[in-house]
Amino acid sequence: MAQGTKSISSPVRIGICAPSTPFNREEADRVVALAAESHPQAELIFDEQCFLEHGHFAGNDEQRLATFVALANDPAIDAIWFARGGYGAARIADAAIGQLGGDAGRKTYLGYSDAGNLLGALYRAGIGHVAHGPMPSDIGRIGGEDAIGRALDWIVHQRPDAVDPGLASGRKYAAFNLMTLAMMTGTKLMPDLRDHILIIEEISEYLYAFDRAMFHLCSNLSNHGLAGIRLGRVSDVPENDRPFGEDPEAITRRWSEQYGIAYLGRAEIGHDAQNRVVPFGLLKG
């Protein structure tokens, strides 16, 4: 996607859905109020599906699928913003791709965590302008207002200062939560990451589980022509009954080197209010 601030002559209508777990109506109101003050060009449309509850999920699979498809295919909607993560997007992503029409292809899609299942599927299919970045649920974090502002800076203006500062023009990128991507590997949702710099982040996983996922990921991607791996933040790591003996960077470096993938250092993404945007694909100057 081209970088640089774009001129806005009409409202940018942002459809918000919850492909995984439910969102809180009070927090949605906070996001709308914040956007009205900081980004008056943005019209936020929280679909009622965001607030449904069906066990773990924001409505059943059919409701979550239908809402995403309807918003993506709506010619009056300019962007899709995923409300929050959790688990659930993998259950609808493959079916959703088959139901998207031409209007879905011109939209921006933004989210992270479990929403990576839809981001990956969209990117694989060449649909829209996909990016890993803050979601409305980040309003609940300390400093969450900044995360919301950064997301809207990207959706409304494509402001380059919303993007991870380590990204370089002329390179291809993709970013995912590690566990989400590891589980996507080998499925219909997995995009072609040849020549891409892959950026990963994680939260609330034991270091042995992080190590296991890195083994799975690197062993599967070793012959897929990755340009390299960068590591975002790995936060809220649970204490095991004995120290693992390596930190996340050492784990990432070891598996990358073992499978012939360049380790390219750290990145500014993670499950926190400092999460920066990573547009998928070729970053233009």
CA 187/CA 164 separation, integer angstroms:
28
Report DSSP letters for 94-108, one per residue.
HHHHTT--GGGGG-E
Q: What is the pLDDT of residues 114-170, one digit of tens each?
A: 999 999 999 999 999 999 999 999 999 999 999 999 999 999 999 999 999 999 999
Do the domains 12-162 and 172-282 sit in the same CATH topology, yes or no?
A: no
Q: What is the pLDDT of residues 8-26, one digit of tens each?
A: 468 999 999 999 999 999 9
Decide the pairing of beta strands 172-177 and 196-203. Answer: parallel
pLDDT averaged per 10 residues in sequence order, the chain, 285 residues: 45 98 98 98 98 98 98 98 98 98 98 98 98 98 98 97 97 98 97 98 98 98 96 97 97 98 98 98 91
Class of domain 12-162 (CATH, top level)? alpha beta
Q: Where are the domains of the chain?
A: 12-162, 172-282
Q: What is the pLDDT of residue 9?
A: 60
Query: In CATH, what number does 172-282 get?
Result: 3.50.30.60
> 278: how many CB neighbours lie within 10 A of its CB?
28
The percentage of residues in the chain with a pLDDT greater than 90, rounded to a whole number, is 96
Q: What is the pLDDT of residue 3?
A: 35
Neighbour-count burial of 13, counting CB atoms closer than 10 A to its CB (0-12 exposed, 13-18 middle, 19+ buried): middle
Residue 62's region, left for phi above 0, alpha for psi from -120 to 50, else beta, is alpha
